[in-house]
Structure 1
Amino acid sequence: MTTLFLLSSVAAFGDNFKGIISGRTGETLIVNGSQSKFTVVLADDTRVVDKRGLFGWGRTELTMSVLMPGLKISVDGTRDTEGRVLAKKITVDGDDLESAQMIEAGLQPTSDQVLEHEKELLEHQKAIGANKENIAANTADIETNQQQIAAHKQSIDQNMSDIQANSQRFTTLADYDVKANATVKFATGSSQISKADVDQLKQLAATAKGMTGYIIEVTGYADSTGSAAVNTKLSGDRAKAVITVLQQQGGVPIRHIVAPGAMGEYGAAAPNETKAGRAENRRVEVKVLVNKGIAGS
């Protein structure tokens, strides 16, 4: 049994509707606004945008797979005759997205962990272009970025506090039944999917498409080999590879897929101290979920 609901409220007004996703099924989101819940309908041309880019690095286009319960969103759209919001664009915040992803994956991260991850990514970017002539300039840039990160800590703390404070409600609002699942394993440093696992994913997709109001949850992991930043990227690449197979070979629309995040080495299934344990941790977990409250299952 997987539980994915989170309750809170934000304002809704005009053709822009704000709130926190409290449920998702198929092509619809249930969003809690300040006055009441409302339904958001996703379409193939619905855009999902990070308003500042993850960690504030520019504006980023996202896929609908990031729209998970617990995430704050701003929806540009219009009401249909049934009072639902037909979404043209959905805007999220990168910092809130990462927090929601980690909560969704069953973790309880601290804001300091989030900040440490930001620092690693910033320093990695600077190291790529570093040489003898610009080391001093890069060092100054890193110090400036570290100051910006420290200033941003209060915002991250607040995002973490909002989600953590409500995380206990996951078990009391509504449950998702796990109707089917699969685990895809990977070689060290690879995001290549074997033919056997492609066939497994195609069968899973066929099973899911026979259900009403299904969503497919895809979560990527890595073993402890390599740095945290490298492992996070690798686990994300693996999740994306699985999503691609589900879409292109399984015929699953992206609006039916939710990806809680690239978890890197967090959430290990086995000890990383052994070869067999590391092999277990190089994985993507895939679950077919149906919300009993929304789908009436």
Structure 2
Amino acid sequence: MNALMKTSKAMLLLATTMLPVSGLAAQDMPAQDMQAQGQAQGDTLTTAYGPQMPAMSEMTAGPDLDGIISARSGDRIQITAEDGTKTVLTVTDETRIKSSGGFLGLNKDRLAANELLNGIPVSVETLQWDGGLVAGEIDLKKKDLKTAEMIYNATDQRFGDNELAIQQNAAATEALRGRFGDIDKYNVKNVTNVNFATGKYNLSEQDKALLCNTASQADAMENALLLVVGYTDSTGSQEFNQVLSEKRAARVVNHLQQACGWKPYRMLTPTGMAEADPMADNSTPEGKAQNRRVAVNVLVSKAVDEM
């Protein structure tokens, strides 16, 4: 892992939680801030260093929170309550994340940190220690993903025009821009497609090796993230294809995390897009074969890429 990621992770465990309580957005939380964290009091920032974070079993119960996820950076999320109160929490490997709505066939009682999409309403059971608040359990109210995406696009997280470093990924990025509100936050470094038989979502041995190779290459890039998107051809109903595209995306996500060792916190929220954004003409068998795919997008934050 690169030095920047190691430093950020180490300092996150050593420092207390810090964020300004006003005007917070993803771009307002650079990596260097995570190396000297403190507690926000109004608009005044106080830096303090504390002991290493203990296990959750050694912490005391904190307040229960209800609100929406209004910002996220690394292992920290900000919850904004209905009255506008902002609270910053640390998410750890022990944090239990669940959803009443379920998504992509993932176990509703055990979701990954990448499910913490801005704009989603949540209920949080917190724990507290000398370094601040830690999320013990997060319940995602995610029955309507479109509503969450609308809320997300209405937050303060605005990003400029996307300038791709790799010309061959331009078409894929344009398609993503129309579907994901924050895609302009990233440079697309690579796109790997794995294809499927009609109506199927199983991976071939060749595809499994290809996915692990992609993960290995991405791991060598500084702070790279993966965005997994599933697609189908035009065969079948919209409802069937939506479910199928989600199953394909879920299968790829599971393989990347379980077999290839890709960390869940380095993956953006996966999704299924049914027959949207075809790569080729669905009127031919060859075109349909190209469209039955899952795209694994390797992304790097522009803020890091331009350093």
Asked if Structure 1 and Structure 2 have the same fold, meaning a TM-score greater than 0.5 normalized by the shorter chain, the answer is yes
Deviations 1:4-37 (A, max 9, x none): 9699xxxxx9343633253454xx2443523447
Residue type of the partner of 2:217?
T
- Asked if structure 1 preserves the Cα contact closer than 8 Å seen for 2:66 and 2:121, the reply is no
Residue type of the partner of 2:143?
D
Given candidates 169, 187, 200, the residue that maps to 2:197 is 187
Alpha-carbon distance in structure 2 between the residues aligned to 1:170 and 1:32:
21
Aligned residue number for residue 126 of structure 2: 77
Alpha-carbon distance in structure 2 between the residues aligned to 1:6 and 1:20:
15
Report the alpha carbon displacement of residue 251 of structure 1 after superposing the two structures with TM.
0.8
Q: Equivalent residue of 1:225, what SS?
A: coil
Aligned residue number for residue 228 of structure 1: 238
Aligned residue number for residue 88 of structure 1: 136
Aligned residue number for residue 63 of structure 1: 111
Residue type of the partner of 2:69?
I
TM-score by length of 1: 0.61
Matched, 1:278 2:288: yes
Seen in structure 2, the aligned counterparts of structure 1 residues 291 and 68 have a Cα distance that, compared at 3 Å, is farther
Given candidates 238, 249, 264, the residue that maps to 2:248 is 238
Larger deviation: 277-286 or 267-276? Answer: 267-276
Alpha-carbon distance in structure 2 between the residues aligned to 1:80 and 1:17:
20
Please list, as runs of the form range in 1=range in 2, the aligned pairs for 1:44-63 lying within 5 A after superposition: 45-51=94-100, 53=101, 60-61=108-109, 63=111
Aligned residue number for residue 135 of structure 1: none
Q: What is the percent sequence identity of the aligned residues?
A: 32
- Asked if structure 2 preserves the Cα contact closer than 8 Å seen for 1:78 and 1:87, the reply is yes
Taking only aligned residues, the RMSD between alpha carbons, in angstroms, comes to 3.6
Given candidates 15, 18, 31, the residue that maps to 2:67 is 18
Please list, as runs of the form range in 1=range in 2, the aligned pairs for 1:248-259 lying within 5 A after superposition: 248-259=258-269
Residue type of the partner of 1:92?
L
Q: Equivalent residue of 2:241, what SS?
A: helix
How many residues align? The count is 222
TM-score by length of 2: 0.59
Given candidates 201, 204, 216, the residue that maps to 2:214 is 204
Gaps of 5+ in 2: 1-24, 29-61, 162-181
- Asked if structure 1 preserves the Cα contact closer than 8 Å seen for 2:118 and 2:152, the reply is no
Q: Equivalent residue of 2:300, what SS?
A: strand
Higher relative contact order (CA 8 A, sep 6+): 1
Seen in structure 2, the aligned counterparts of structure 1 residues 168 and 48 have a Cα distance that, compared at 3 Å, is closer
Seen in structure 2, the aligned counterparts of structure 1 residues 93 and 269 have a Cα distance that, compared at 3 Å, is farther
Alpha-carbon distance in structure 2 between the residues aligned to 1:41 and 1:216:
19
> 1 or 2, which has the higher helix percentage?
1
